[in-house]
Amino acid sequence: MTTPASETPVLRTPGLVDAHIHPDKTSWGDAWLSRRPAATLTDLIENDRATQHTFAMTVEDRAYALLRNAVENGTMAMRAQVDVSSELGIRNVEDVRAAAERLAPWLTVEIVAFPQFGLLRNPGTLEVMAASLDAGADLVGGIDPGGIEGDLHGHLDAVFGLADRAGRYVDIHLHDGGEDGLAQIREIARRTVAGGRQGRVTIGHAFALCDASLPSLGETLDRVAEAGIWIATCALGPDPVPDIDLLERHGVRLALGSDGVRDSWSPFGTGSMVDRAHLLAYRTGAITDGELERAFRLASSAGGEMLGLAELSDWAGPESGTRLEFAAESIAQLVVDRPAPIRVLRDGAQLTLP
């Protein structure tokens, strides 16, 4: 028997937070993008470089289209990874900041100045990163100090040095796996503690933490927890996913993001963090209501805590003026069914977009 529409339960939840997204790369709103094959991370990066200037729409307009869709699906805050380089300059940062301002006050956006094409191996990029911090970027990014840059200490010296000079937090992409990846993570943790940077550093992806066979995994997780480092995972495609129970037992803080959305790296993604929570739950074998609810928490209040947003991390409950409303019986059902919210409210006002 079908439940009458008037009796459909309304579930009220915290707002959603995307802890790791690349809005400047998206093809959202533009023509279909045919992707080239890529066997390695280097191939993916070079495909990305080749795609940067092929879009008909501007970075601002594509980013706005994606961010708007995310807002309509309940995202209230995000950490945006935005490319800076000697070739691109600060254009992408300026455009993503402009797109974000068009969605204020509904969406809070932190921008990471991300050296996608290398920092040390791409001369001039460090200076562009410094300039981007005056042009709308909030955090200093980094990428695979070992696998991409080939100079662990030189890369971290540059990233942490710029962050310290500018008084900014750090968010480093780390795709490298195996014991080498774990060694890089431990060095990041060591520097975080030594510099008094606890709680101010995030590692995105951290695939090495997903390999339970590595002998030094437990020690590395303890170092990450001691340093207060956040791990941003995305559960994208064939990428490794963490053992969430194991990370929680070691006290590691985890948040969930979209990563790339319909860009040169992948044709998939929607910008909906309910979709992303569903994917994480599916890929980590979630069965119980508690496991499904945890996936939602990583897509909402955990990200709010990572970004330091009290209204999203310390939710005041169903009557809060900042909330989402869904036609669902429970958060577990919500994660499985993946509906869009029927109402989005922030600071007591209902979402209205032109």
Catalytic annotation, residues: 205
Contacts with 140 (C-beta within 8 Å, 6 or more apart), sequence order: 112, 113, 129, 133, 159, 162, 163, 166, 168, 169, 170, 171
DSSP alpha helix (H) spans, the chain: 41-51, 59-72, 91-102, 125-132, 152-166, 178-194, 217-227, 244-249, 273-283, 289-298, 301-306, 310-313, 331-337
Alpha carbon separation from 88 to 7, 115, 141, 144 (Å, rounded): 53, 10, 16, 20
Closest to 102 in 3D by CA, of 139, 55, 137, 67: 67
| Pair of tokens at residue 268 | 């998939």
Strand partners, 17: 77
H/E run at residue 346: strand 343-346
First to last CA, the chain: 39
Torsion sign across C-alpha atoms 150, 169, 309, 101: negative
Cβ atoms 90, 80 nearer than 8 A: no
Residue 50 burial (10 A CB sphere; 0-12, 13-18, 19+)? exposed
Question: Does residue 169 contact residue 141 with C-beta atoms inside 8 Å?
Answer: no
Tell me which residue of 51, 61, 52, 67 sits closest to 30, measured CA to CA: 61
- C-alpha 199/C-alpha 254 separation (Å) is 12
DSSP 89: B
Establish how many alpha carbons lie within 13 A of residue 115's alpha carbon, considering only the half-sphere containing its beta carbon.
32
